[in-house]
Structure 1
Amino acid sequence: MRNKVTKAIFPVAGLGTRFLPATKSVPKEIMTLVDRPLVQYAIDEARAAGIKEFIFVTSRGKSALEDYFDEAPQLEQTLRKAGKTELLEILKSTNMDSGEIAYMRQHKALGLGHAVWCARRLVGNEPFAVMLPDDVIAAEKPCLQQMVEAYAETGGNMVAAMEVPSDKTNAYGILDIGEDMGAMVSVKGMVEKPKTGEAPSNLAVIGRYILHPNVLRNLNRIKAGAGGEIQLTDAIAAEIGTEKGVYGYRFRGQRFDCGSKAGFLQATVAFGLARDDLRDDLETYLHELLAARKAAE
């Protein structure tokens, strides 16, 4: 019987320089998308997929992220006294039990592969997920849950994938497809940020992975690749052609790149319009804004 995926690594050591000056004092991962921090969307998605152990790879200056998942007795007491039970329940849903969450420091910014490698002792010899909170995915069934269900059939290593425009392939890890089976593809090669015109396909890897522990062993041997960093893509690619193999999974949903300002704004509008309590006011404002812009042209 295939081992269940119950552990997830969240690499959150980045400095978030694209969001300066906000990230001078606030970790990017707790910047709010509507009324929830980015990282909360990732945690909720992981829980829906059956994840029980949450491993955060952090760096200096991320203490606010750790505090976010801790209990806030004074705030809870204030809400309880005020009879604000609904807000109290929302607050409690952000708490993480002792032993459920762990923090590892990445002392040097050596890339995503190195960040994942930092958590190797907590993962052990089990399959594990990797989730990048910058990638927020709106989906009827959460993306990682879709992948876990597909993984139960295939095992091995699985990366979330989506079609991107040909002129954008140089910004992603791109899959060289072996067999295309619809939602699932077998992978015969992976290229990290290929030069324009040299990509083997337009199927890009985005920030959700289910990996066999062999990938951690591969990271022990890998030297710095693209950009002088240790690339997770290289460690996964080393599993191509092995018994475990590598698969790409075309998830159902819309991905927002919240690591960019434009993507963050797009996600804010999309998630706001999806909320019953915000939709009418936001739609009215957007229509008025567009009408005013057209009138001014």
Structure 2
Amino acid sequence: MSSRKPIRKAVFPVAGLGTRFLPATKAIPKELLPIVDRPLIQYAVDEAREAGIEQMIFVTGRGKTAIVEHFDIAYELETTMAERGKSLDVLESTRFTPGDMITVRQQVPLGLGHAIWCARAIVGDEPFAIMLPDELMVGSPGCMAQMVAAYHEVGGNLISVLEVPREEVSSYGVITPGAENGALTEVLGLVEKPPVEEAPSNKIVSGRYILQPEVMRTLEGQGKGAGGEIQLTDAMARMIGQQPFHAVTFAGRRYDCGSKTGFVEATLALALEREDMGREIRAIAERLLAGG
């Protein structure tokens, strides 16, 4: 057994305005938009639970209270369903044990690094996970479970990465790779959106992190970076060389649900895999593609 502190807490930055999806997100948080019949945030929370994470920390902003409501007990709904003889199993994954869901407010939109820093008092002196719900990671085991397993091997800080065609690297954060051992790659540096010809690799950072609590102190004294925001990438880059830092190449699929095309792709892909609708969805897709 590993003597390392277990990863018990996960931070979900959910304060963004979701402007790409307006007008749908005018009154509904983008994290509650459904992929088939589950909100985006639910996929991330289920992934965290599978990895053994116990406490979910939502960094919210104004207008995001519906996320908290989603994970609360809905007495009227549950009572009505029970009276009608309907199973409540479908709601099981939306419930938390009291105390296992915590929210903090990011009052000012100062970037991802600032959002993570807002959770510093709850994280305390423990290593913790960060999960960006816009990145829908589909795999078995899930992405965070793969990362937790890697963490027990090497400790320190970890980020999930995916390999993309080299011509796409300038849209992402990219790692400078060191020694490789299976799915693990030593991280020697991080570059945000490099020109294709200058990219140190084709391994992009993909929205899942396990970080040591020292990152909070790094963020504390950090000035604004790209876009006038406090960047998490900058803080992580400063920790390279001070603590072990590895990338885990995710064995699975990633859908960028922060974009409309990625959102539709994820909805179609997951619907096609469903036993209760896959065959019907495939027939509909084929008919639409044929112009019928």
Q: Which category describes the TM-score, using the shorter chain as reference length?
A: over 0.9
Percent identity between matched residues is 52
Aligned residue runs from structure 1 range 56-67, under 5 A:
56-67=58-69
Displacement of 1:54 in angstroms is 0.5
Cα deviation for residue 19 of structure 1 reads: 0.1
Q: Where does residue 269 of structure 1 map in the other structure?
A: 268
Partner of 1:70: 72
Map 1:179-218 → 2, pairs under 5 A = 179-218=179-218
The CA distance in 2 between the partners of 1:282 and 1:157, in whole Å, is: 41
Offset of 1:204 from its aligned partner?
A: 0.5
Cα-to-partner distance string for 1:137-167 (whole Å, 9 max, x where unaligned): 1112111001000100000000000112222
Displacement after TM superposition at 1:168 (Å)? 2.0
Letter in 1 for 2:55: E
How many residues are paired up? 290
- Cα deviations across residues 46-92 of structure 1 (Å, max 9, x unaligned)? 0000000100000001011111111111110110011011xx11113
Q: Aligned runs of 1:133-152 on 2, under 5 Å?
A: 133-152=133-152
Q: Contact conserved, 1:236 with 1:246, CA < 8 A, in 2?
A: no
Q: Is the 8 A contact 2:46 2:93 kept in 1?
A: no
Residue 249 (structure 1) aligns with: 248
Residues in 2 aligned to 1:73 and 1:187: alpha-carbon distance in whole angstroms: 48
1:24 match: secondary structure: coil
Instruction: Indicate if the aligned counterparts of 2:176 and 2:187 stay in contact, CA closer than 8 A.
Output: yes
Q: 1:84-233, aligned counterparts within 5 Å?
A: 84-85=86-87, 88-233=88-233
Rounded Cα–Cα distance in structure 2 between residues aligned with 1:109 and 1:122: 20
What TM-score, normalized by structure 2, do the two folds share? 0.97
Q: Which amino acid is 1:105 matched to?
A: R
Report matched runs for 1:21-32 at 5 Å: 21-32=23-34
- Output the CA distance in 2 between the equivalents of 1:211 and 1:9: 11
Q: CA deviation at 1:36?
A: 0.3
**Once superposed, which parts of structure 1, at least 4 consecutive aligned residues long, lie more than 3 Å away?**
none
Segments of 5+ residues of structure 2 without an aligned counterpart are none
Whole-angstrom distance in 2 between the partners of 1:3 and 1:224: 31
Take 1:198 and 1:120, find their aligned partners in 2: how far apart are those partners?
35
Q: Give the structure-1-normalised TM-score.
A: 0.95
What SS is found at the alignment partner of 1:29? helix
What letter matches 2:219 in structure 1? L
Distance 2:172 2:229 in 1: 15
| In 1, Cα distance between equivalents of 2:66 and 2:276 | 29
- Cα RMSD, aligned residues only: 1.0
Distance 1:151 1:196 in 2: 30
Shift of residue 219 of structure 1? 0.6
Paired with 2:226 and 2:166, the residues of 1 have a C-alpha distance of: 20
